[in-house]
């Protein structure tokens, strides 16, 4: 009696690493498609007909052999086909009906999920934020009731978790695909330029929704009392435990209820950590907002690099690619060495008198690398180099260069820059609060300083505040910025173009030039 080894639990994946994998995948796809139509068994001729469209050159014999191998790996189960037996000879001829096994169906589902995740680009779902906020408000209303409806609580919590899970997974997939897009931008420059404008607008819209709606979600989550949350989660766990199957060892409801409460508490904790920051740990929404904001200047930097390349400017990567092509086109190894010495300045040691005559002598009488220095042919060294360390004779030192003219030019340049900076600060200083749209046209110096002030203010503003007061690092200027609710758009005209954005109330004070005691109310 021969003992058989148990089949490995990973044998159903074996058809992915053998030849003719396309045939095996097509055959398994035929069984999956048949099961969707509630067809359980398939004959070899049925499978051949279904895979013929994708693999027209595959014959019936190859399909039959593939089904037998899939049966051996555990993907399919073969049952004798006795429905078409009319003669005794037909009974002894091998005829089989094939159907999916549990292992084979699990493998196909895993492969489907794998293909789906690889092709998934993800999205920043601003609508999901609004849905989550609405579901939290409805859940808060149920928490205030003395006896909330369990079905309503269960439905709201499940929808909330599903919407949040979809939002987090899509955001993660989108940011990953965005980084790959930035890294591989040079695949198609023209397409990337057209794509950049739509992508930047998409990111800005999501960042705005994440700031406003995300802050509301954080406030709603913080408003829930721990006892109210525990009561709602217990209601859902109790309702789920009612469907627990009977167990001969005891009542399964208690174990199902405890496992359900633990699972729902973990989901609720994940939801809170995504929107509410903890001590020393920023929320995932804040990290996502920072990552999305950082992607915008990266995209603009990519566009700048593309424009420089189109203008004919060279960079180090282009130079190295050209050099690599020259190396590949070199006719022999000696030409490669000569190209290396010319490109990287690798020459002979300066204190060794190696010239053409020396190289010719070495070619005629080569010296092995294992030769000792004492046994090797000597090298002639210049006596002056040996005595002084230099080929040239030391003489009078160079005359001192008078740089009065250069210093005067630097002083003039510094004075002009100081004057431009003072004029820009005076131009931006406002007499009290004004609207951003009232700043008017700005020259390049004033516009550059304004962008620095505006960037510092926007970066320091918290999601739960509509106003912010910021002082520059040198303490020379202070800006107060307050958001407006009228959704108006401000336009600032400059020589480089027009800056558009949401209108704000703004107050800028030149602290260095302001009278003593003048402050901006925080």
Residue 362 domain flag: no
Domain limit, last residue, from 276, 299, 322: 299
Longest CA pairwise span in the chain (Å): 119
Task: Sort residue 272 into left (φ over 0), alpha (ψ -120 to 50) or beta.
Answer: alpha
Q: Are residues 160 and 222 in the same domain?
A: yes
What does 433-488 look like in DSSP terms, one character per residue? -EEGGGS----HHHHHHHHHHHHHHHHH--TT-SEEEEE-TTSSEEEEEEE-SS--
Residue 333 domain flag: no
The two tokens of residue 48 are: 């051949």
The two tokens of residue 202 are: 């998409």
Q: Are residues 204 and 235 in the same domain?
A: yes
How far apart CA 10 and CA 17 sit, in angstroms, is 12
Q: Are residues 59 and 132 in the same domain?
A: no
Domain residue limits at 477: 406-510
Task: Answer whether 14's CB lies under 8 Å from 73's CB.
Answer: yes
Task: Answer whether 252's CB lies under 8 Å from 164's CB.
Answer: no
Q: Are residues 415 and 455 in the same domain?
A: yes
Residue 77 domain flag: yes
Q: With a threshold of 0.75, does the pTM exceed it?
A: no
Residue 392 domain flag: no
The two tokens of residue 111 are: 């492969």
Q: Are residues 105 and 200 in the same domain?
A: no
Residue 213 domain flag: yes
Q: Are residues 135 and 160 in the same domain?
A: yes
Residue 484 domain flag: yes
Q: Are residues 444 and 410 in the same domain?
A: yes
Task: Answer whether 506's CB lies under 8 Å from 483's CB.
Answer: no
The predicted structure's pLDDT at residue 517: 47
Name residues whose C-beta falls within 8 Å of residue 85's C-beta, 6 or more positions apart in sequence. Answer: 91, 95
Domain limit, last residue, from 117, 152, 184: 117
How far apart CA 55 and CA 220 sit, in angstroms, is 56
Q: Are residues 75 and 164 in the same domain?
A: no
The predicted structure's pLDDT at residue 5: 38
Question: Contacts for 181-184 with beta carbons within 8 Å, 24 or more apart?
Answer: 182/295, 182/298, 182/299, 182/302
Q: Are residues 285 and 260 in the same domain?
A: yes
Q: Are residues 200 and 92 in the same domain?
A: no
Task: Answer whether 70's CB lies under 8 Å from 23's CB.
Answer: no
The two tokens of residue 264 are: 């729902």
Residue 46 domain flag: yes
Eight-class DSSP state of 148: -
The predicted structure's pLDDT at residue 73: 92
The predicted structure's pLDDT at residue 302: 73
Q: Are residues 81 and 176 in the same domain?
A: no
Residue 495 domain flag: yes
> Looking at the 3D structure of the chain, how many domains does it have?
3
Domain limit, last residue, from 87, 117, 147: 117
Crossing angle for the helix pair 44-51 and 60-73, to the nearest 10 degrees: 110
> Distance between alpha carbon 399 and the CA centroid of its chain, in Å?
59
pLDDT per residue as tens, the chain (522 positions): 333 334 567 888 988 888 888 999 999 999 999 888 888 888 888 899 998 888 888 888 899 999 999 999 999 998 887 666 555 555 545 678 899 999 999 999 888 887 766 555 556 677 888 888 888 999 888 888 888 888 888 898 888 888 888 888 777 777 776 766 665 555 456 666 666 777 777 778 778 888 888 888 888 888 888 888 888 888 888 888 876 666 666 666 777 888 888 888 898 888 888 888 877 778 888 888 888 788 778 777 777 776 666 655 556 777 888 889 999 999 998 889 888 888 887 655 544 556 677 778 778 888 887 888 788 877 766 676 667 666 666 667 677 888 889 999 999 999 988 888 888 888 888 888 888 888 888 888 888 888 888 888 888 888 778 888 888 877 788 888 888 887 788 888 888 888 888 888 888 888 777 654 444 444
Q: Are residues 142 and 157 in the same domain?
A: yes
Task: Answer whether 432's CB lies under 8 Å from 507's CB.
Answer: yes
- For position 215, which CATH number holds? 1.20.58
């Amino acid at each position: 009696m021969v003992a058989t080894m148990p089949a490995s639990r990973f044998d159903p994946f074996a058809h992915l690493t053998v030849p003719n994998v396309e045939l095996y995948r097509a055959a398994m796809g035929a069984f999956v498609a048949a099961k969707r139509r509630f067809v359980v068994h398939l004959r070899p001729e049925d499978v051949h007909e279904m895979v013929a469209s994708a693999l027209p050159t595959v014959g019936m014999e190859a399909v039959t052999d593939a089904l037998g191998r899939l049966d051996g790996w555990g993907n399919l189960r073969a049952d004798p086909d006795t429905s078409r037996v009319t003669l005794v000879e037909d009974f002894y001829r091998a005829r089989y009906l094939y159907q999916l096994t549990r292992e084979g169906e699990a493998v196909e589902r895993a492969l489907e999920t794998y293909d789906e995740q690889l092709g998934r680009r993800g999205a920043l779902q601003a609508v999901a934020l609004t849905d989550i906020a609405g579901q939290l408000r409805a859940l808060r209303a149920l928490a205030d009731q003395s006896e909330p409806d369990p079905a309503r609580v269960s439905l709201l919590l499940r929808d909330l978790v599903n919407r949040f899970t979809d939002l987090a997974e899509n955001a993660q997939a989108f940011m990953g695909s965005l980084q790959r897009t930035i890294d591989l931008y040079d695949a198609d420059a023209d397409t990337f330029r057209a794509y950049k404008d739509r992508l930047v607008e998409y990111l800005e819209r999501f960042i705005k929704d994440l700031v406003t709606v995300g802050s509301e979600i954080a406030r709603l989550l913080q408003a829930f009392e721990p006892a109210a949350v525990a009561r709602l989660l217990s209601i859902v766990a109790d309702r789920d435990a009612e469907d627990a199957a009977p167990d001969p060892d005891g009542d399964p409801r208690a174990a199902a209820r405890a496992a359900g409460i633990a699972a729902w508490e973990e989901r609720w904790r994940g939801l809170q950590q995504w929107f509410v920051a903890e001590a020393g740990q920023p929320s995932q929404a804040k990290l996502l907002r920072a990552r999305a904001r950082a992607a915008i200047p990266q995209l603009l930097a990519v566009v700048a690099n593309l424009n420089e390349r189109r203008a004919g400017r060279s960079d180090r990567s282009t130079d190295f690619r050209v050099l690599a092509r020259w190396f590949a086109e070199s006719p022999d190894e000696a030409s490669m060495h000569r190209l290396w010495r010319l490109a990287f300045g690798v020459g002979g040691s300066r204190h060794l008198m190696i010239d053409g005559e020396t190289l010719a002598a070495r070619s005629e009488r080569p010296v092995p690398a294992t030769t000792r220095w004492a046994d090797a042919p000597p090298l002639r060294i210049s006596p002056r180099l040996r005595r002084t360390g230099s080929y040239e004779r030391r003489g009078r030192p160079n005359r001192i260069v008078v740089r009065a003219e250069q210093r005067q030019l630097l002083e003039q340049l510094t004075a002009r820059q100081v004057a431009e900076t003072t004029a820009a600060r005076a131009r931006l200083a406002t007499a009290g609060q004004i609207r951003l749209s009232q700043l008017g046209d700005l020259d390049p110096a004033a516009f550059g300083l304004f962008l620095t002030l505006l960037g510092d203010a926007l970066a320091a503003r918290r999601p739960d505040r509509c106003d912010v007061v910021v002082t520059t690092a040198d303490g020379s200027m202070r800006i107060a910025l307050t958001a407006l609710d009228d959704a108006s758009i401000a336009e600032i005209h400059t020589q480089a173009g027009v800056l558009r954005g949401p209108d704000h109330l703004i107050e800028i004070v030149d602290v260095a030039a302001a009278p003593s005691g003048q402050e901006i109310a925080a």
